[in-house]
């Protein structure tokens, strides 16, 4: 399990909240997201005014979905575990509950914190992009990074440019940051 700053940051923040005496169970939001996860409605924007629990909701969703932790104990006894098994849709969702838990890469960041790291607000997007891409590159080294070309990838993975091009049907001009390539290592004689 990889736990990072932005990618799969773990569940410690939610654990603090759920074990606090002021915690209010809002895990029905997880049920809502699970119902819509593989549908046309999968893109969800949760907006709320200041001081209405956005950070808590993000921490809860991160703890539930993130591959970076095991959150089974955190959600025991909460609303997200309670399903009406006589309702067909609810019965299906109850099976998805464990399937979706800690099954996804989650990227999260706090915009207020980011703004303390940059001089001008216009720089925030670039800063986030650099930080997240660097962390993703550590976890997924097969992704194309800034400055990668076929020759450097072939050298890094002990294969040939020709083999990479053949397997992926690419040319050097088509490589873009974030692309993924299938790379098989070859036995290449060293000179």
| Domain ranges across the chain | 12-108, 113-140, 142-191
Banded model confidence at residue 186, pLDDT cuts 50, 70, 90: low
Q: What is the pLDDT of residues 31-71, one digit of tens each?
A: 999 989 889 998 888 777 777 788 889 999 999 999 989 99
CA 175 to chain centre: 23
The confidence score (pLDDT) of residue 190 equals 45
The confidence score (pLDDT) of residue 172 equals 67
Residue 144, CA distances (Å) to 154, 160, 166 in order: 12, 16, 17
The correct CATH number of 142-191 out of 3.40.50.720, 3.10.350.10, 3.90.75.20, 3.40.50.620 is 3.10.350.10
CA 15 – CA 12 distance, rounded (Å): 5
Is residue 164 within 8 Å of 153, Cβ to Cβ?
A: yes
Q: Higher pLDDT residue, 105 or 182?
A: 105
Is residue 63 within 8 Å of 14, Cβ to Cβ?
A: yes
Q: Is the pTM of this model over 0.85?
A: no
Q: What is the pLDDT of residues 152-161, one digit of tens each?
A: 888 888 888 8
């Amino acid at each position: 399990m990889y736990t990072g700053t932005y990618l799969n940051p773990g569940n410690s923040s939610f654990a603090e909240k759920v074990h606090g005496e002021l915690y209010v169970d809002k895990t029905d939001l997880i049920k809502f997201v699970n119902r819509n996860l593989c549908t046309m409605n999968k893109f969800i924007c949760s907006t709320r005014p200041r001081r209405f629990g956005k950070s808590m909701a993000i921490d809860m969703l991160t703890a539930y979905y993130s591959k970076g932790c095991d959150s089974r104990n955190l959600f025991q006894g909460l609303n997200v575990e309670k399903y009406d098994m006589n309702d067909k849709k609810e019965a299906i969702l109850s099976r998805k509950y464990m399937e979706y838990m800690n099954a996804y890469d989650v990227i999260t960041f706090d915009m207020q914190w980011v703004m303390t790291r940059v001089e001008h607000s216009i720089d925030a997007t670039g800063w986030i992009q650099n930080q997240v891409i660097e962390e993703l590159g550590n976890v997924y080294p097969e992704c194309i990074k800034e400055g990668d070309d076929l020759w450097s990838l072939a050298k890094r993975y002990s294969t040939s440019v020709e083999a990479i091009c053949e397997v992926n049907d690419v040319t050097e001009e088509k490589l873009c940051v974030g692309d993924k390539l299938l790379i098989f290592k070859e036995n290449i004689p060293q000179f």
